[in-house]
């Protein structure tokens, strides 16, 4: 009996030593993982249009998987979810949702309520999809939402939910709100506001572009309005000129601004120098003004419905943006080079205080005056 007892004691002792080593390894790797997550984002380019994406050091995942497999046989060690987020991080820093479980997604939903027209609604929907993806929630919007008539949206219809729903109001319409990363997962959420920052959905850019696939009827009308897009034999530059509702004294005093002909000529000349024989396609709420000031052999003008004009801009190779979210989305969906009017919003105005240009305009876009 004594030799057996000695062997059993020795085996027990070795088990304790091994368990202690694995606990130490787990703690050490967790601290290393935190250091990696709190570091600077590594940005790289993907695709011919130069889309910006973000990713983290992949060694972190390898270390965590190794430790997790080693500890599976030790049920007495509690598993705690730890999410390290740096002070200046955004949703761009995370390529996976916090909760990937399908069961979780079926029981946790998120929707959004905001105002405005097409460009504003697109920001709201894109941010909803980005934020819900980050938290592992299911994004939902009303079955009657007008965006469904324009795009082939995948989000299910909002339903009356028995579980508690809580509102999350934005701090400013054009600034990224870091608190969005720390929502409680005990309730369903209703986002309230405009949420106009690419940082809410920049980590799932291709998903958002798929969501904003135009309905077939919109594409048919686009090709009738701009048949040149069907041939695609020249580099096309979409030019959105917004003037009408922003030209009034009231709106200008608030901070809205209208790009002058000088900006338009400079931005068009920029593309004339960069690309051989480009074709400019101008979409505007003031077509007469555009024809009077921008008429040229390499420029054509369209006047379709709002969704048709947006489809035209989105199917151009590159874009020029003046003011407003409508032109912003035409340029973003196209995914090419973008020159924007950097005096929007006007500095030191009410509207300027609602926006951070770093959060509103993607880093790779070029601002001109």
Its pTM stands at 0.74
The pLDDT of residue 14 is: 41
CA distance 29 to 15: 21
Predicted confidence pLDDT, tens digits, the chain (369 residues):
434 334 434 443 444 344 444 434 444 433 333 332 233 332 333 333 333 223 333 333 332 232 233 323 333 433 322 223 333 445 665 544 556 688 898 889 999 999 999 999 999 999 999 999 999 999 999 999 999 999 999 999 976 655 568 999 999 999 999 999 999 999 999 999 999 999 999 999 999 999 999 999 999 999 999 999 998 789 999 999 999 777 788 888 898 889 999 999 999 999 999 999 999 999 999 999 999 999 999 999 998 899 999 999 999 999 999 999 999 999 999 999 999 999 999 999 999 999 999 999 999 999 999
CA distance 317 to 337: 8
DSSP string, 7-43: HHHHHHHHHHHHHHHHHHHHHHHHHHHHHHHTS--EE
CA distance 69 to 102: 23
Other CB atoms within a 10 A radius of the CB of residue 115 amount to 9
- Helix, strand, or coil (residue 270): helix
Residue 339 · residue 321 · CB < 8 Å: yes
Residue 39 · residue 85 · CB < 8 Å: no
- Match 């809580």 to its residue by tokens: 166
């Amino acid at each position: 009996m004594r030799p057996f007892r000695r062997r059993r004691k020795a085996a027990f002792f070795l088990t304790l030593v091994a368990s202690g080593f694995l606990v130490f390894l787990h703690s050490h790797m967790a601290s290393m993982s935190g250091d990696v997550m709190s570091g600077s984002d590594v940005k790289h380019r993907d695709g011919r249009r130069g889309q910006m994406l973000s990713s983290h050091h992949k060694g972190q995942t390898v270390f965590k998987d190794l430790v997790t497999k080693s500890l599976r046989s030790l049920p007495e060690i509690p598993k705690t979810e730890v999410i390290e987020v740096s002070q200046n991080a955004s949703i761009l820093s995370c390529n996976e949702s916090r909760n990937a479980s399908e069961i979780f997604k079926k029981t946790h939903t998120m929707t959004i309520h905001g105002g405005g027209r097409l460009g504003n609604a697109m920001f709201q929907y894109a941010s909803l999809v980005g934020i819900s993806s980050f938290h592992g929630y299911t994004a939902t919007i009303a079955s009657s939402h007008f965006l469904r008539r324009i795009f082939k949206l995948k989000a299910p219809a909002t339903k009356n939910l028995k579980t508690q729903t809580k509102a999350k109001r934005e701090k400013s319409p054009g600034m990224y709100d870091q608190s969005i990363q720390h929502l409680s997962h005990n309730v369903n959420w209703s986002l309230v506001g405009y949420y106009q920052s690419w940082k809410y959905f920049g980590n799932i850019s291709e998903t958002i572009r798929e969501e904003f696939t135009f309905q077939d009827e919109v594409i048919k009308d686009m090709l009738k309005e701009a048949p040149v897009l069907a041939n695609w034999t020249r580099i096309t530059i979409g030019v959105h000129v917004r003037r009408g509702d922003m030209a009034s004294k009231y709106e200008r005093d608030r901070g809205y601004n209208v790009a002058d002909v000088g900006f338009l000529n400079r931005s068009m000349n920029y593309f004339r120098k960069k690309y051989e024989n480009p074709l400019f396609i101008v979409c505007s709420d003031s077509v007469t003004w555009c024809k009077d000031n921008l008429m040229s052999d390499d420029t054509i003008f369209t006047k379709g419905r709002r969704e048709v004009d947006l489809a035209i801009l989105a199917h151009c190779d590159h874009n020029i943006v003046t003011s407003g979210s409508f032109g912003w989305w035409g340029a973003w969906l196209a995914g090419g080079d973008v020159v924007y009017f950097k005096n929007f919003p006007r500095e030191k105005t009410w509207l300027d205080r609602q926006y951070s240009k770093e959060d509103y305009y993607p880093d790779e876009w070029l601002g001109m005056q």
